[in-house]
Structure 1
Amino acid sequence: MSANTPAAAPAKSKKMLIIIIGVVVAVLVIGGGAAAWFISSRSHADEEDGAAPVRKEAPKVAPTFLPMENMVVNLADPGGDRFAQIGITLELEDAKTAEQVKLYLPSIRSGILMLVSQRTSTELLQREGKEKLAADILREVSRPLGYTVPTERARAAAADKEEDAEDRPSRRRTERNPVHRVLFSSFIIQ
């Protein structure tokens, strides 16, 4: 009998090892299945609750910046002894728009010079004056490209009309202006 005992011990340990590995594999499979079920049932519950499915947005393209030469302009102050030196950079949608703007640059510069020359130094020293000038320059740059930018008065009037006429169908979609913003790179008033 003593000869059978050592042989029986390795057979039992092999069987025990196989049973333990089987139990571990079964636990892992059951746990993975439960996790997959939980995740899928959670995403289905979100869809049923009316939550919008996550959409992948198109990758954003970096805007193109078009710096313009600095401009020196006499201001509309009494006496005519004040002037402004302004550096402007345009934020455009893409390089194609930059090429289009370059074609119209002489008329755009002329329009900007006319806009600035109508302002006073006190107006341009205020933040609101600079913001209004930037909006006017945006309109001036967009005009040769065929886009219209409404003035503040026009926007306010349109908002009043929309409040009065709620029964009208929604406005038709307009094209997006490829000229995003007007940035001042320098602004000196003397």
Structure 2
Amino acid sequence: MSAAAAPAGDAPAKKGSKKLIIIIAAVVLLLVVGGGAALFLMKKNAAAEGDEADADGAHAPAAAHAPAPKPRKHDSAHPPTYVALDPFVVNLADRDSERYAQIGMTLEVDDPKFAEEMKGYMPAIRNAVLMILAHKTSTELLEREGKEKLAEEVMREAVRPMGIEIDADEPDDTGGKKKRRRAPVYNPVQQVHFSAFIIQ
């Protein structure tokens, strides 16, 4: 009788182990399905954010035609970049006497990469500056206003060989104020600094 009781006790143990295997399989299946659903939702959200970024990016070409940003203010973290030009010695356009000017200039640019690019165009830049100087008289250059006008012209002409066309300001008929013909173009040359200014 004890021998017959033993097989009856093994049957419930086998049923219990089958239930345990089924429960474990169900938990694993639930984890796999839950993980897949979570992954699907995360990808869907990422795709939605990507579509929004693409929609914003669609306006990027239009922004490229917008006026360029204003030059950044100088700070110690981003010091300006300077491009020193060799000194210029040029005969001036005075009619009554032979006068010449010896002028040293340094261009302040907003980007070191642009400064490096300018070096490849230096012969054309120097030519443009010499052409400006050759049309000036000593009277013009001795005045502060004349020096400021020269600096503006140099800023404009220094970038022309690189394909950047900056329009000159024109006097307005209404009150001498200046107006521009077109929307302004950003000039990477921020200032012209004179290091020497001798007129003889």
Q: Deviations over 1:121-171 (max 9, x none)?
A: 011000111111111111111212232322120783338x9xxxxxxxxx6
CA distance in structure 1 between the aligned counterparts of 2:136 and 2:169, rounded to whole angstroms: 17
Q: Give, in angstroms, the shift of residue 176 of structure 1.
A: 3.2
The answer for unaligned runs of 5 or more in structure 1 is 1-56, 162-170
Write the letter of the residue equivalent to 1:61: H
The answer for unaligned runs of 5 or more in structure 2 is 1-72, 173-177
Query: Structure 2 matches for 1:35-74, cutoff 5 A?
Result: 61-74=78-91
Partner-residue secondary structure (3-state), 1:61: coil
Q: Give, in angstroms, the shift of residue 179 of structure 1.
A: 1.3
Residue 157 (1) aligns with residue 176 (2):
no
1:87 to 104, 111, 122: 104
CA distance in structure 1 between the aligned counterparts of 2:118 and 2:164, rounded to whole angstroms: 12
Q: Give, in angstroms, the shift of residue 79 of structure 1.
A: 4.4
Q: Give, in angstroms, the shift of residue 119 of structure 1.
A: 0.5
CA contact (8 A) 1:74 1:80 kept: no
CA distance in structure 2 between the aligned counterparts of 1:178 and 1:118, rounded to whole angstroms: 25
CA distance in structure 2 between the aligned counterparts of 1:139 and 1:115, rounded to whole angstroms: 11
Q: Which has the larger radius of gyration?
A: 2
Aligned to 1:186: 196
Q: Give, in angstroms, the shift of residue 91 of structure 1.
A: 0.1
Q: Give, in angstroms, the shift of residue 117 of structure 1.
A: 0.7
Query: Structure 2 matches for 1:16-165, cutoff 5 A?
Result: 61-153=78-170, 156-158=178-180
Where relative contact order (Cα < 8 A, 6+ residues apart) is larger, the structure is 1
Write the letter of the residue equivalent to 1:101: M
When the two structures are aligned, how many residues end up with a matched partner? 121
CA distance in structure 1 between the aligned counterparts of 2:166 and 2:188, rounded to whole angstroms: 11
CA contact (8 A) 2:167 2:180 kept: no
